[in-house]
Amino acid sequence: MLREAIEGLTEKELRFKPAPDQWSIHQILIHVTDSEVSSTSRLKRVLAEDEPMLNSFDQDAWARNLGYDVLDREQYLLLFKILRSTMQTILDNLSDEQSERVGVYPDQQRFTFKELLYYRVEHVRTHITQIERVKQAYRKHLAGTNDSRSIRSAVFLVKMRDSLDSIFTEPKQSSKINEQVSCIQVYL
């Protein structure tokens, strides 16, 4: 599911940040895997222990302090896949009673295994949607870059034509230059 979301993307697309305070697709993938590690532990604790105390993690601190930009995305995608596959046997053999077991957060909120599992699935879906938004932002960024390149190219061509026209006063030479400039414009 994560692999499909990034299929065919270039490294530039994977590293693009829509804004300085927003994550790149690369960072999102690392975060989803870190969250999966944490969630897998919580899920197993709820099944194995009696009303265990559950903890969350500060996702922004992890992204900032663990160097998400330099972590190996492929290793993280593999880890995500392994974590999901190791839970599959447990889920396949889960009883109704086990799905109602409870874990407790420090604020005393209680969640069943089933609720935690649902949250897990929704969390990944939310980030896949986020990946799609980053892809769209990248395309808009490219379109904006191409528009500004086109404007710069047009300005350059006008200046070049004006400069060349002023150099050549003979009309025949000036028309040849206009033809050459028009040819150049097709390639830009």
Q: 102 by DSSP, 3-state: which?
A: strand
- Tell me how far apart the alpha carbons of residues 143 and 128 are, in angstroms, rounded to a whole number: 23
What band does 136 get if pLDDT is binned at 50, 70 and 90?
very high
Percentage of the chain exceeding pLDDT 90: 74
Over residues 175-185, the pLDDT tens digits come to 544 444 443 33
Instruction: Please tell me the predicted confidence (pLDDT) of residue 147.
Output: 56
Which residues, in sequence order, are CB contacts of 16 under 8 Å at separation 6+? Answer: 24, 25, 134, 137, 138, 141
Instruction: Give the count of beta carbons closer than 10 Å to the beta carbon of residue 134.
Output: 22
Q: How far is CA 134 from CA 2, 104, 140, in A?
A: 14, 34, 10
- Tell me how far apart the alpha carbons of residues 171 and 175 are, in angstroms, rounded to a whole number: 6
Instruction: Give the count of beta carbons closer than 10 Å to the beta carbon of residue 66.
Output: 13
Instruction: Please tell me the predicted confidence (pLDDT) of residue 144.
Output: 83
Query: What is the value of pTM for the model shown?
Result: 0.76
For residue 186, pLDDT beyond 50: no
Q: How far is CA 187 from CA 41, 113, 146, 166, in A?
A: 57, 61, 14, 24
Which residues, in sequence order, are CB contacts of 149 under 8 Å at separation 6+? Answer: none
The type of residue at 187 is: Y
3-state secondary structure 105-120: CCCCCEEEHHHHHHHH
Instruction: Please tell me the predicted confidence (pLDDT) of residue 180.
Output: 44
Instruction: Please tell me the predicted confidence (pLDDT) of residue 1.
Output: 85
Would you state the structure tokens that stand for residue 79, as one six-digit string?
């880890």
Contact criterion met (CB below 8 Å) for 173 and 149: no
Over residues 73-123, the pLDDT tens digits come to 999 999 999 999 999 999 999 999 999 999 999 999 999 999 999 999 999
**What is the set of domains in the chain, with CATH numbers?**
2-148 (1.20.120.450)
